[in-house]
Amino acid sequence: MLLQPVILSGGSGTRLWPLSREKYPKQLLPLIGEESLLQGTVRRVDGIRLELAPTMVVCNEEYRFVIAEQLRLMGKDGVLLLEPVGRNTAPALTMAALEANREGKDPVLLVMPSDHVILDTAAFQEAVRQGAALAAAGSVVTFGITPDCPETGYGYIRMGEMLDGAGDGACRIANFVEKPDRETAQRYLDEGSYLWNSGLFMMRASVWLTAIEQCRPDILAACRAAWQSRLEDGIFVRVDESAFEQCPSDSIDYAVMERVAARQENLPAGAMIPLTAGWSDVGSWDSLWQALPKDANGNVSQGDVLLSDCSDTLVLSGGRLVTCVGVSDLVVVETADAVLVAHKDKTQDVKNIVDTLKRQGRPESLLHRKVYRPWGWYDSVDNGERFLVKRIVIKPGAMLSLQLHHHRAEHWVVVRGTAKVTRGDTCYLVTENESTFIPLGTKHRLENVGKLPLEIIEVQSGPYLGEDDIVRFDDHYGRK
């Protein structure tokens, strides 16, 4: 039996603003430990004692280079299946099943959200091995999280009859339940027959394709058309944009699993395995506080933080010193361009701030001040009327696109490394403590020809300094 890890990486994590941004969401961040949540998800199947296919990540095209770099840093092979637009989890899984089954191997798919935390890897792997046997035999398997509190932020799954010979706790799915109110959640906890809906699934690729054809043939038809017209570029698989845009949006639960639970005719059997493994969806700052280790007063602090007479408080510093005195039950998050202060009971409402930022057209909802690109990153360190100063770091062997700007000129100062500069029809080297000037309207390119990162200070000047003032003529990374 071949196990195909499938990681769904499409969420934006707005409740974890200002760390999580629309164009750099929470799954790409190291919220717990030194690796990102996505890297932790990839790492979770290491040593599982099953034959593993290379990890498949289904993600928005916007994140492809960051995810590819995170896999490279782990030394992991993988396939990135790129969605041109978001269409929820059912189409994402359908695309993954088509890709996984392309050579007729029909692997068991282990479907994992990229932005969850599981602290007990051994318990998780044991549950996956148990689920793999059921999935290989034709069942659609989900994992229910054993609840430890009356949580109102999760959906629930009610346990049905136990499955003989399927291992400890394995049962049929009775039904799915929407997020309850507090009183109902407490009743579910007291009854002991309701588990949290984890969003983790296992099934053979062919089983999912058969099920989605029975339940949502329109989704399968659109996904198959998009996948059949795919383009492959190294580890990237790009599906056809126009075909995928026609695909309806639906979740795995609504499209298939609720019908499986109802035991509709011609659908595969559904099974649920209880999972007690320190799981959290890290959906808010309060849930992150619960997942992280605390001091004797219940505080969590990361970065340059000083606390005095504080309790049950989460404080994260991205750079500057953050101090708190005499507070409790607060969340304080500092980044280079924004600071959040919220009561822990109100962290679900952080999305309201993000919505307001979007309505006002402010960039803080989309990007950090430090922006990652396939060639490296830049940090907008200062700006004013008609000027912008950036710190730019380019990886060895990497290059920016051949481009020009209609509204700005650029002055580059090399502070580390050696730059190869294309300016108009000429090419030349610029080394440390040297500079060069790119006039407005001139074709240019910047390339790191050295063995070390290239670091430059760029000063832009002109009447308009937006990132959309870029006309690309050639790009090593296929960007338009």
Domains of the chain (ranges plus CATH)? 2-280 (3.90.550.10), 288-357 (no CATH), 370-474 (2.60.120.10)
- The answer to whether 306 and 296 are in contact (CB under 8 A) is no
**pTM of the predicted model, to two decimals?**
0.90
Mean pLDDT, residues 124-143 taken together = 96
Count, residues in the chain: 480
pLDDT tens-place string over residues 145-187 = 999 889 888 899 999 999 988 788 899 999 999 889 999 999 9
| Antiparallel, parallel or unpaired: β 435-438 and 409-416 | antiparallel
Q: How far is CA 264 from the centre of its chain?
A: 33
Mean pLDDT, residues 449-473 taken together = 95
Instruction: Name, in order, each residue with C-beta under 8 angstroms of 122's C-beta and a sequence gap of 6 or more.
Output: none
For helices 89-100 and 205-215, angle between their N-to-C axes, nearest 10 degrees: 140
pLDDT tens-place string over residues 399-450 = 999 999 999 999 999 999 999 999 999 999 999 999 999 999 999 999 999 9
- The answer to whether 187 and 198 are in contact (CB under 8 A) is no
Mean pLDDT, residues 298-306 taken together = 97
- The answer to whether 414 and 434 are in contact (CB under 8 A) is yes
Q: Which two structure tokens, joined as six digits, stand for 255?
A: 């499209």
Q: Measured between alpha carbons, how far apart are the two ends of the chain, in Å?
A: 41
CA-based torsion, 35, 41, 379, 350: positive or negative: negative
Provide the pLDDT confidence category of residue 14 given band limits of 50, 70 and 90: confident
pLDDT tens-place string over residues 97-117 = 999 999 889 999 999 999 999
- The answer to whether 289 and 125 are in contact (CB under 8 A) is no
Of 409, 397, 420, 398, which is closest to residue 465 (Cα–Cα)? 409
Three-state SS sequence of 252-273: HHHHHHHHHHCCCCCCCCEEEE
Quote the pLDDT of residue 434.
97
